[in-house]
Amino acid sequence: MKILIFGDIVAKPGRKAIATLLPQWRQKYQVDLVIANAENLSHGIGVTPASLEEMRSAGVDFFTSGNHIWKKPDINTVLQSANPVIIRPENYPPGLPGTGHRLLTVGVREILVINLMGRVFFKEHLDCPFRALDAILSEFHVRGKTPSTGVSRPVDGIFVDFHAEASSEKNALGRYADGRVTAFWGTHTHVPSGDSMTLKHGTVYRSDIGMTGLKDSVIGANTESIIKQFLTQLGDAKMHDVDEHGEVIINGQLLDFDGLSVNTWQALQESIII
């Protein structure tokens, strides 16, 4: 089974790049499932039902998110649907729309996708991601591993998107999850990390997948508008501008596993002109 993972897809250039390249990558790598982080789909901040459907049509099967998930209120209808194609971080306060984990059936396999968010350097006061992960893993475990509770359900794989700012927090939670989840990757910083590895107890790990967005930018946004925010210390959504054309960097991670262990964990990168 092959799973292709994308980090943050940023605005129209990122969406166009995915629509152009993903069909080629699905065929080239014989991909069974595509997961992408959607929180920056709509002009770089937030996600709408229309932008989700655009990416679904391009070949993305399922979406994780992060702190910008709430920027467009009409996404709530998708989060609350019977079979949502997107999840939000699990460790937001209870009572909010949506959920932070979902069980997917891919062929003959069942896999669990989990979305968590970090607390370091964020203004939000979220619940502990370590304890949120423990709560989910009390209900599910990777088939063949020792369950933490007698009611835990076996699944073929557990995959975690940790949307966090600090690489130290990502590294700590990844090692805390080691041996209990199949793969653990970070999103949010938009800069791909070069630390793809297999941890001591078998979990594959990478601190950040990296974005799909304009190369000549600051994490996908117009360079001048972001520099202005740093110089003036004034910033809002109107200043977060995104150019529509240029060279786009596509970052991905390809995972090949047989239901028991990961055979390969390969970083992918390509650029195209939009």
31: number of Cβ within 10 Å = 20
Q: What are phi and psi of 53, to 5 degrees?
A: -65, -35
Q: Report the C-alpha gap between 151 and 270 in whole angstroms.
A: 44
Marked catalytic residue, from 43, 68, 141, 188? 68
Q: Report the C-alpha gap between 178 and 164 in whole angstroms.
A: 18
Give the β-pairing of 33-37 and 62-64: parallel
Active site residue 68: yes
Is 140:153 a contact under the CB 8 Å cutoff?
yes
Provide the annotated active-site residues: 68
